[in-house]
Structure 1
Amino acid sequence: MDQVSGNEPQPTLPISSAHDGFFQALTEDIYCFTDKIVNVYFIGNPNKPEEWLLIDCGISRTKDRILSILAESFGDAFPPKAIILTHGHFDHVGAAYELASHWSVNVYCHELELPFLNGLKDYPKPDPTVEGGLVAKLSGAFPYKAIDLSPFIQVLPEGQSIDGFPEWRWEHTPGHSPGQIALYREKDGALLSGDAIITVKQDSMYDVLTQSEHLQGPPRYFTTDWEAAKYSVERLSSLDPSYIAPGHGLPMFGEEFKHRLKHLTEHFDEEAIPDYGKYAEE
């Protein structure tokens, strides 16, 4: 296994979207920044030390994009309390090592995701034979090697808690990766879903480029356990979230979101699971 050191430039892709660089406030303390084709979230108040969290680290190989948007949006932002990774696929960990080193903060993940993030185990290879569009066909070239985020990587605390942020809890949502998580806040029904539920057809080049809205299950080419993926969608749906902040695609709100989530949950087999592909057949 040829692991990739976390402090070495990580492989990336020359793919962007119509919302690359878009920054928006979802609430007074949840902010979304789109880095090419993937979303990064700021939870809390970056103007106060240790009172915010960075959720995922984008696809770009430099910390400068995230530091720049923080400076533009918040001025002299303080370091976060921690970085939390919904999972460790290459498009969510781009600047993780650089940012953790720059801020001297820990990076947290689920215990089942740890081997992929401390250099011990590669992810399963993406499946270019899976049913889907051009992005799916190109996925054979996507990075899947383990990276080593030592000494910053740590396991999330037990009990679904998040230190210093008692309103939030993490939910284990396997399927797309063994240790994928989502984040949920009951008081306003906020759901940061990672890649368990997304709002764009991530296997379609047109939809990725235009960010056309379509609530669906996880990206097909990297999802290896569809039974677990279905369970994860059912689990998140049972929380009755008011809105979703996904790993890919635009945030979605209100009754239209609730209707689409109900439909996806009830028709997951037809809507999400591909008709063919290596992992679908397994």
Structure 2
Amino acid sequence: MENSSSTERFQPVTSVGSGIGIEVTPDLYCYTIQIVNVIFYGIAGEGNDWVLIDAGMPTSGGKIKEEAEKRFGKNNPPKAIILTHGHFDHIGGIIELLEVWDVPVYAHELELPYLTGKKNYPEPDTTVEGGMVSKMSFAFPHESIDISEYIQPLPIDHTVPFMPNWKWIHTPGHSEGHVSLFRNEDHALIAGDAFVTVKQESLYKVFTQEKEISGPPRYLTPDWEASESSVNILEAMDPAVAITGHGVPVSGEWLKENLTELKNNFKSIAVPDYGKFVKDDQ
């Protein structure tokens, strides 16, 4: 298991929500680290079973472990870590965590090359239309990590290990193997970066966490056609509550109306006017 700049290089960007946790449902707790959310699945309580979804910004392992201990007690590692995808801001703390938690990690099969040291992500697009964070993205690491001894593909039957009644949905576009998680009984959605609830390209909006439906972060999204298809899939599932990789959790009529608006107007809301991943006919 090797460290890389994707887990070691601290990124000096944050938001007013950093360090704040929100209990979205009794068993879903969203905790913000700088500009990204990690999710704790499980009923709070000393010794209760739980699962971690995503692993935060580089060097954030200690903060994640500390928050987990507050919610589930000390010496109580998760049953597993589930990754929506392997970008630096979703795996930044994972090597630190695996050094203290000997637990399996699951991701989509198409994401495994980026998590086993075989393939790097495309470099962020600093030219893309949208705002200052895009221009800063040259500093964001895109290197793969190697957690071969821990990583496993998600089950082909779409179940989610240690998360009964949840299923994973392949929602590519932002990355090849991006997944979202959905629970049919209450229509709870963990969207990853398939869509987000903050304009992630705008430094001001990232800092203030102004609530706004948006497509995946533009500077790290190489396939806009697949991204649009993924939003269509998630909108059709009619989620009642959604936790996204960036921005505040949302629910009810606001979620329904705005997700439908994103689906109906994806090209004008989500797709940038220009950038290296934007086709001429988009």
TM-score (norm 1): 0.94
| 1:117 counterpart (115, 118, 123) | 115
Task: Tell me if the contact between 1:38 and 1:92 (Cα under 8 Å) persists in the aligned partners.
Answer: yes
- Three-state SS of the structure 2 residue aligned to 1:259 is helix
User: Offset at 1:49?
Assistant: 5.6
Q: Which residue of 1 aligns with 2:247?
A: 249
Determine the C-alpha separation between the residues in 2 that align with 1:51 and 1:158. 24
Is residue 221 of structure 1 aligned with residue 256 of structure 2?
A: no
Determine the C-alpha separation between the residues in 2 that align with 1:98 and 1:46. 23
- Three-state SS of the structure 1 residue aligned to 2:110 is coil
Task: Tell me if the contact between 2:47 and 2:73 (Cα under 8 Å) persists in the aligned partners.
Answer: no
For residues 164-222 of structure 1, give each alpha carbon's deviation from its aligned partner in whole angstroms, at most 9, with x where no partner exists: 32210111110000000001011111100000010000000000100001111100000
Of 65-74 and 269-278, the range deviating more from structure 2: 65-74
Task: Tell me if the contact between 1:193 and 1:244 (Cα under 8 Å) persists in the aligned partners.
Answer: yes
Q: Which residue of 1 aligns with 2:2?
A: 5
Return the letter of the residue paired with 1:203: E
User: Offset at 1:46?
Assistant: 5.5
Equivalenced residues, count? 279
Of 162-171 and 266-275, the range deviating more from structure 2: 162-171
Determine the C-alpha separation between the residues in 2 that align with 1:169 and 1:48. 26
Gaps of 5+ in 1: none
User: Offset at 1:48?
Assistant: 6.6
| 2:84 counterpart (79, 83, 86) | 86
Return the letter of the residue paired with 1:70: A
TM-score (norm 2): 0.94
Determine the C-alpha separation between the residues in 2 that align with 1:140 and 1:163. 35
Task: Tell me if the contact between 2:170 and 2:177 (Cα under 8 Å) persists in the aligned partners.
Answer: yes
| 1:43 counterpart (41, 59, 62) | 41
Q: Which residue of 1 aligns with 2:143?
A: 145
User: Offset at 1:100?
Assistant: 2.3
Q: Which residue of 2 aligns with 1:273?
A: 271
Is residue 131 of structure 1 aligned with residue 126 of structure 2?
A: no
Q: Which residue of 2 aligns with 1:65?
A: 63
Return the letter of the residue paired with 2:250: M
Q: Which residue of 2 aligns with 1:161?
A: 159
Is residue 210 of structure 1 aligned with residue 177 of structure 2?
A: no
Return the letter of the residue paired with 1:6: N
Task: Tell me if the contact between 1:12 and 1:91 (Cα under 8 Å) persists in the aligned partners.
Answer: no
Q: Which residue of 1 aligns with 2:236?
A: 238
User: Offset at 1:50?
Assistant: 7.4
- Three-state SS of the structure 2 residue aligned to 1:108 is strand
User: Offset at 1:72?
Assistant: 2.7
Of 67-76 and 220-229, the range deviating more from structure 2: 67-76
| Alpha-carbon distance change, 90 to 268 in structure 1, aligned in 2, over 3 angstroms | same
- Three-state SS of the structure 1 residue aligned to 2:109 is coil
- Three-state SS of the structure 2 residue aligned to 1:147 is coil
CA RMSD of the aligned region, Å? 1.7
Determine the C-alpha separation between the residues in 2 that align with 1:164 and 1:194. 18
Determine the C-alpha separation between the residues in 2 that align with 1:233 and 1:157. 22
User: Offset at 1:67?
Assistant: 1.4
For residues 74-128 of structure 1, give each alpha carbon's deviation from its aligned partner in whole angstroms, at most 9, with x where no partner exists: 4336211100010000001011122123111011110000000100000011101
- Three-state SS of the structure 2 residue aligned to 1:279 is coil
Q: Which residue of 2 aligns with 1:192?
A: 190
Determine the C-alpha separation between the residues in 2 that align with 1:20 and 1:203. 17
- Three-state SS of the structure 2 residue aligned to 1:67 is helix
